Chain A
Amino acid sequence: MVYEVFARKSRGEPLRHIGALDAPNDELARVYAYQTYDEERWFDMWVTPRDRLLEVFNADRGPGVGI
């Protein structure tokens, strides 16, 4: 499963997308995210399965389904 990785360098800063990775489950996704992107000093880091990201709007296609 593909997971998207987000992080920020300080409290209050917006979350930034920093990459993606493949993992079989949430537990390993968190470990892999930390160990893949640990060269910077992050304030926090998050992962989410790509298929849980819901599109709201796209300039080319217009509003997402269901809006």
Chain B
Amino acid sequence: MSVLETATEAKELSAAARHATRDLILVLADSKRLLGMRYAEWLLGAPELEAGIACASMAQDEWGHARLFYAMLRDFGEDVDQLEHGRGPDEYASMEVLDREPASWPALVALNAFVDTALSVQCEALRGSSYAPLAQRVEKLLDEERFHAAHGGAWFRRLAGATAAARAEMGAATAAVLPGVLRWFGPDSERARLLVDEGIVAASGGALRDRFLERISPLLAALGEAGGAFEAPSFAGFDETRRRASAGGPDEATVARIRGDRNRIFRTDG
């Protein structure tokens, strides 16, 4: 492996690496903002008070991380305020499985166990990033994420080990979320390889997907027969910049809420 130059500013990266890095940071920012909102929706209505508090805590973490990633995009010439408050649904680069509000607690647990872990696996690959701002910030973020995985895993095992009906619901929620998460890691494309070659990420595509599958394998095992088998993802129609296979984005109501549309007039600092 060659010795890689460390870039402290985006302008030091090659044009191709700069575009791909910018896209990756936006994918992480948008996905964390959406995931934070999904957690916040369960602040009330979780099966027990403590689970609601845990959701509030995780929502705060995710929104903090999202804000940090959005702010990093200033170095790439982006208007951060416009990114946070001015985009339509089809401009979001969030994970597709976050597009709609989860319908049940097991569906939220599936997001907690799989989406949160997938984002962490992606962030772990940025630890030694040659783009220094990523390498500097990712460690603290991953430290906070440890308890998200613990919460998702504990609830997953609890539901999978409860009644047959609860296990079946956890299995159905897993089947609804997991294929989209597996696809999200993307193909082993030229673009994915470029980021590895330039040292922005330590691994991409299939290698990260394998790491993720290894991480969640105890959870799938806990489902037993309710788990089923998961096929290798298809990348037909996959947009590598947004890491999505469908053209749309989060539903209108979700986007209106994360943009803060309703109380826009009270943003008087601009």
Asked whether A25 is an interface residue with its Cβ less than 8 Å from the other chain, the reply is yes
A39–chain B nearest beta-carbon distance, Å: 9
Please report the C-alpha to C-alpha distance between residue A2 and residue B90 in the assembled complex, in whole angstroms.
47
Chain B neighbourhood of A6, CB < 8 A: none
For the residues of B in contact with A, the DSSP-based class is: helix
Which residue of A is nearest B157, CB measured?
A27
Q: Are A28 and B154 in contact (CB under 8 A)?
A: yes
Q: Are B158 and A35 in contact (CB under 8 A)?
A: no
Asked whether B221 is an interface residue with its Cβ less than 8 Å from the other chain, the reply is no
Q: Are A35 and B49 in contact (CB under 8 A)?
A: no
Asked whether B57 is an interface residue with its Cβ less than 8 Å from the other chain, the reply is yes
Please report the C-alpha to C-alpha distance between residue A31 and residue B50 in the assembled complex, in whole angstroms.
9
Asked whether B58 is an interface residue with its Cβ less than 8 Å from the other chain, the reply is yes
Asked whether A46 is an interface residue with its Cβ less than 8 Å from the other chain, the reply is no
Q: Are B58 and A35 in contact (CB under 8 A)?
A: yes
- A residues 16-51 touching B (CB-CB < 8 Å): 21-25, 27-28, 30-32, 34-36, 38
Interface size grouping (class) on chain A: 10 to 19
**Residue from A22, A31, A36, A38 within 8 A of B154 (CB atoms):** A31
Q: Are A22 and B49 in contact (CB under 8 A)?
A: yes
Asked whether B155 is an interface residue with its Cβ less than 8 Å from the other chain, the reply is yes
Q: Are B147 and A31 in contact (CB under 8 A)?
A: yes
Please report the C-alpha to C-alpha distance between residue A27 and residue B58 in the assembled complex, in whole angstroms.
17
Which residue of B is nearest A38, CB measured?
B57
Which residue of A is nearest B53, CB measured?
A36
Chain A neighbourhood of B49, CB < 8 A: 22
